[in-house]
Amino acid sequence: MDTKADTTDIVRAGTAAMERYIAAGDIGRLNETQRIALYRAVCESLGLNPLTQPFEYLTLSGKVTLYAKKSCTEQLRQIHGVSVTSLELERREDILCMTARVRDRNGREDIATGAVSLKGLGGEALANAYMKCETKAKRRATLSICGLAMLDETEVDSIPGATTVSVEAMHGEPAPAAARPAGKARAAKALPEAVPAAPVAPAAPAATAEPIEAGAVEREVLPIPRGSKFSVVENSRGTKVWRIDAPGNPDPIAVLDPALASRIEAEAAMGLEVRVVAELRYGKWVATKIKEEEVGDVPF
* Of 126, 145, 142, 131, residue with least CA distance to 69: 142
Q: State pLDDT tens for residues 23-74.
A: 557 788 788 888 888 888 889 889 999 888 999 998 888 888 899 999 999 9
Instruction: Give CA–CA dist 288/242, Å, rounded.
Output: 12
Going by pLDDT thresholds of 50, 70 and 90, the confidence category of residue 254 is: confident
Sorting pLDDT into bands at 50, 70 and 90, what band is 18? low
Residues whose CB is less than 8 angstroms from the CB of residue 284 and which lie 6 or more positions away in sequence, other chains included: 188, 189, 191, 210, 212, 254
Count Cβ atoms below 10 Å from residue 283 Cβ, excluding itself.
15
User: Would you place residue 110 in the very low, low, confident or very high pLDDT band (cuts 50, 70, 90)?
Assistant: very high
Report the range of poorest mean pLDDT among 8-22, 178-192, 205-219, 230-244. Answer: 178-192
Point out the least confidently predicted range of 137-151, 202-216, 232-246: 202-216
Under DSSP, is residue 288 helix (H, G, I), strand (E, B) or coil?
strand
- Higher-confidence residue of 96 and 178: namely 96
pLDDT value, residue 208: 39
* Residue 143: per-residue pLDDT: 93
Residue 160: partners with Cβ closer than 8 Å, 6 or more residues away = none
Domains of the chain: 3-67+162-168 (no CATH), 83-145 (3.30.160), 177-290 (2.40.50)
Give CA–CA dist 252/243, Å, rounded. 6
pTM over 0.85: no
Question: What is the helix (H) or strand (E) element at residue 163, kind and residue range?
Answer: strand 163-165
> What confidence score (pLDDT) does residue 16 get?
61
Please check whether residue 143 is in contact with residue 153, taking contact to mean a CB–CB distance below 8 angstroms. Answer: no
